[in-house]
Structure 1
Amino acid sequence: MKTLLMDTMRKSDATQVLAIFQEGIDTKNATFETKVPTWEEWDRDHISSCRLVAREGDRVVGWAALTPASSRAAYAGVAEVSIYLRIESVGQGLGSRLLEALIKTSEENGFWTLTSGIFPENKNSMALHEKLGFRKMGTQERIGKLDGVWRDVVQMERRSEVVGV
């Protein structure tokens, strides 16, 4: 087994990052998205200072990134978490390491609140977020359709204990 490294995402990681995103789409429990965006679209939507990958050698086995919660200035320190792992990497502690690193990076970049919208069926993701200090804010019932089926989303939030206190 190769050493696992938490690292800054690079443009050269794009193909692997999007392939992992496709695996998440295929589960039908990670996102409402039904197709992988282009790298240019993905790059435009995610905060450049808060993008991480987990590497085993040259292989990306997971990634985590933030998207702005709002374009309004008052919410400049609020962002939404995305975290995706290769299917074969689930259950090995990688998610905890990646999310811990993303929380640290977010705080270094001035973010005071992280949010996450999770399908209630994705119990592993909810447990991971709770383990790292996120709390359930509530459930948005039938908030969107995926493949013609209404889905609920559990909203979770983590308030920094170092930024904005």
Structure 2
Amino acid sequence: MLISSAIFYYFYVQITYEKWLQKSNPKYPSPSSVRMEIILMMKGILAGTFCPALTLYLMSKKQLKGYCGVDEYGWGYLIVSFFIAWLSTDFFEFLYHRMGHTIDMLWNVHKSHHQFYNPTPFAVIAEDYVDQIVGASPLVFIPALVPINMDLLFFQVSK
């Protein structure tokens, strides 16, 4: 939110003719549209913390196979798991996003993210709560299935 706010301030509050020339959409969004983006973003942030919080809770109860540090499995395992987790989480995100555009039931959930004709930086994470929870679900499912460095996984799944 801080980064989005800083970018918004620079490009939308401190308006200059030079910045306006670089905009692909010459109009600026209405205050009510920006307000709606911020509200949807805040709801998304709230929902998006569910899976990370659940993961940390389950880790504290030793219910997941995640670990911290390198010593337990070594550098080789960490490097291999980095690429496997990277490819699998990226493919998961791509597939879920693609299905959100091609399956009517999922589009009904995902379309709230695309409702802003002239988006601001806040629209990047202005997603429905279901999108946020599903998008963060690899944080729970991957360490439930295989041992993985949790620092690495949190880094890769963070948006």
TM range (shorter): under 0.3
Between structure 1 and structure 2, the one with the greater Rg is: 2
Higher relative contact order (CA 8 A, sep 6+): 2
Structure with the higher strand share, 1 or 2: 1
Give the TM-score, by structure 1 length.
Answer: 0.23
Q: Per residue, is there more helix in 1 or in 2?
A: 2
